[in-house]
Structure 1
């Protein structure tokens, strides 16, 4: 098992999100890159550890505002823009 944490998402490169799992993977990468445990983030977010676990596992029914608050604490944000190409 590789214990080297991926660097946090500070590269300013946009990341396309299509699923709840995409968000969860980015949250986990950012958290690990900041050397924070799930419990650490839960404390900073004033929420339970279950939310962090659910988000990182891609649970699609977590409350949007809680996810947005979590992203903010981790220094991430959501930007909505038109797709560059439309697939029908």
Structure 2
């Protein structure tokens, strides 16, 4: 389960390496700069969402709704304790 920008970036890096691509190659395939890929893989929380989703699709990560078709009564608490608390 992806719980943070760092987790997401790590997954992108793992998939990119499994494909045998450099960060530069992934950037070209995504239509972004290499700096964006570096930031994304390092878990920078302010990376542009649209570009991040493109990178995920390019490396084969399916970000479909994992709860599609599940009714509210069937949902179980997702253990959201990892989320930051704001005053």
The TM-score with structure 1 as length reference comes to 0.74
Which structure has the bigger radius of gyration?
Answer: 2
Equivalence for 2:54: 69
Residue 36 (structure 2) pairs with residue 58 (structure 1): no
Counterpart Cα distance in 1 of 2:76 and 2:13: 27
Q: How many residues are matched?
A: 73
Deviation at 1:86, TM superposition (A): 4.0
Choose which of 14, 18, 22 in structure 2 pairs with 1:37.
22
RMSD: 1.7
3-state SS, counterpart of residue 54 of structure 1: helix
Greater helix share, structure number = 2
Query: Which structure 2 residue ranges, 5 or more long, are not aligned?
Result: 68-74, 82-87
Equivalence for 1:26: 11
The TM-score with structure 2 as length reference comes to 0.75
